[in-house]
Amino acid sequence: MTDATTGVDHLDALVLWCGAVVAIAGPAGLLWRATRGAHRLARKVEDFVDDWAGTDEHPGVMARLDRIEHKLGTVEHELHPNSGGSLRDAVDRVDQRTARHLDPP
């Protein structure tokens, strides 16, 4: 079996130290990449939870949905025929007049 040294003590020590640096830096780099990905995921989860529950500056999802439902409730009466004052009644009147003008006598 051959000797694995170069015969130059300083060069052998340098090669040994370079191998040690690579042996430590490789796993350290992999660990850094894994923790960076976990940190990004944790930040996204935190953003989702803040959006869902709400913060001091912004209301949560349920509060926003409640506001949307109230706004829809104020315009819902416009979508159904009533005493003639809804948007639906106005569209129906225009449709009837248009049909009378387009129908041949």
Q: What is the pLDDT of residues 11-21, one digit of tens each?
A: 989 999 999 99
The answer on pLDDT for 2 being more than 60 is no
pLDDT of residue 105: 61
Residue range 78-100, pLDDT digits in tens? 777 778 778 888 888 899 888 88
For tokens 């005493």, name the residue: 83
Q: Minimal CA–CA distance to 74: which of 61, 87, 84? A: 87
SS3 call for 104: coil
- Domains of the chain, residue spans: 8-58, 60-105
* Global confidence as pTM: 0.47
- Average per-residue pLDDT for the chain: 87
The answer on pLDDT for 41 being more than 80 is yes
What 8-state DSSP symbol labels residue 67?
Answer: H
